[in-house]
Amino acid sequence: MACNKVKMVIDKEFRISEIDERIYGSFIEHLGRAVYDGIYCPEHPTADEYGFRSDVKEMIRDLNVPIIRYPGGNFVSSFNWEDSVGPVSERPRRLELAWKSIEENKVGLNEFTKWARSAGSDVMMAVNLGTRGIADACNILEYCNHPGNTKYSDLRISHGYKEPHNIKTWCLGNEMDGPWQLGHKTMEEYGRLAEETARAMKIIDPSIELVSCGSSSLTMPTFPDWEAVTLQHTYDHVDYVSMHQYYGNEKGDSEDFLACSDDMDQFIRTVIATCDYVKAKKRGKKDIKISFDEWNVWYHSNAADNDITENHPWQVAPPMLEDIYNFEDALLVGLMLITLLKHADRVKMACLAQLVNVIAPIMTEAGGGAVWKQTIFYPFMHASAFGRGTALLPVISTPKFDTSRHEDVTAVEAVPVYNGEKDEVTIFAVNRSIKDDAEMTIDVRSFEGYRILEHIVLESDDLLAVNGPFNEKVAPKQTSQSSLDGGMVTSMLHKASWNVIRLGK
């Protein structure tokens, strides 16, 4: 086995941007067991007085998620928000058309908002621009944010919530470019609707931030025309454009799978270029920021999901999108986090989709059993814990290789984050070579007086290793693979490994 030689220079003056903590957001949709039997399970021994599982909430707190997107997702495009408020006993059971399920509305807008705050998170609310429109968006905003003495704010108060929820971030629909979306729109249709919805919502509450729907993936046939056309309508009224992307290793090609973060990087660069084109065309002064509000690995559960929707529809909380993640999935999640951080100047929000049971880092056994951490839990936890502060531009010299679909793939991907308040710097690094270790030499002379605090590694001899309840095969460990001498760190990065190298005084 060869050992690649990698060199990196980091300097506290090589700044990309301050990192918005909302880059570590997540997402909960009324889909599968995300809500029911996920965060909400009244019969569970740890359930609180409202029926929410305390053990799941504590695990979410471990991830330190600052914002959670809700209630969808495809779900939102047929969501009647009025069904989800008021006395639970009076709420209707509805056909949920996106996922062919039954929605009982036992958990609704108010309960979720209260739960999210108790979990340490703000809410990113999505409005239904599929089957509904401007009036509905205004009504739900009035219900959530207006203090009182109006129809919908008084309705909220009558439901036991005197103080407004003050939700500040709102998505103008979901994946409206997708033919699978209920109420799918053309570029011009969506642009006009989103513009007028945004205009009306900001009359009600000028302090809110709005997210315009971007493309559902890099491979959409309308990309990037969708962004160019819709933003010409929404530019003056919105703050963000959304991005969504999932990856899978359907062909069992691990080398190529781990190169998919390069596609994510190109996706982000193209969206930035398109946003800046619209800015230039409109003689604008503001930069449109990015809300990458759906990203993850998703492919393991496809066959089971299709069977449920086609052959066993109209269940309550069926087990859908329950991908069991393996070790290589965790590596790609780490690579995707590094990619987001490298674009921290424009990517200000991002949502790992989703949070519990549905393509999620946290799983619960069906029927209210144990809660456990998937392999992807750990890179996200590390980034959220140590990736706060300033993203620094790494200058890296690394070997490159080609895969079946990608060229010039870097053997090592890395990004440093400087936390001035704590006087620490953390280097997140993935050796995505599945064959060769790498010796990385890091010039850290600008961080005078620092010492190595720890080197955390996530690795496995089996790329397909998975975790399960009471059976954690993939977990991080402390290692002594880093040393510091004369302002130079030398770190051994084992093949196919996620590494967190922390330095401080």
Rg (CA), the chain: 23
Taken in order 184, 186, 187, 190, the sign of the CA dihedral is negative
The amino acid sitting at 224 is P
DSSP label of 41: -
Euclidean distance between CA atoms 41 and 178, whole angstroms: 33
Residue 142 known to be catalytic: no
Which among 175, 255, 322, 424 is annotated as catalytic?
A: 175
Euclidean distance between CA atoms 308 and 311, whole angstroms: 5
**The two structure tokens encoding residue 501:** 């190298």
Euclidean distance between CA atoms 367 and 370, whole angstroms: 9
Q: Give the CA distances from residue 254 to residues 29, 179, 377, 424, in Å, rounded to whole numbers and listed in that order.
A: 30, 30, 20, 34
**Segments of 305-386 assigned E as strands:** 315-316, 347-353, 362-364, 371-373
Residue 163 known to be catalytic: no
Which among 82, 103, 227, 294 is annotated as catalytic?
A: 294
**The two structure tokens encoding residue 420:** 């001035």
The closest of 270, 91, 76, 246 to 170, measured between CA atoms, is 76
The full DSSP string for 84-124 is GSS-GGGPPPEEETTTTEEE--SS-HHHHHHHHHHTT-EEE
Q: What residues are annotated to the active site?
A: 175, 294
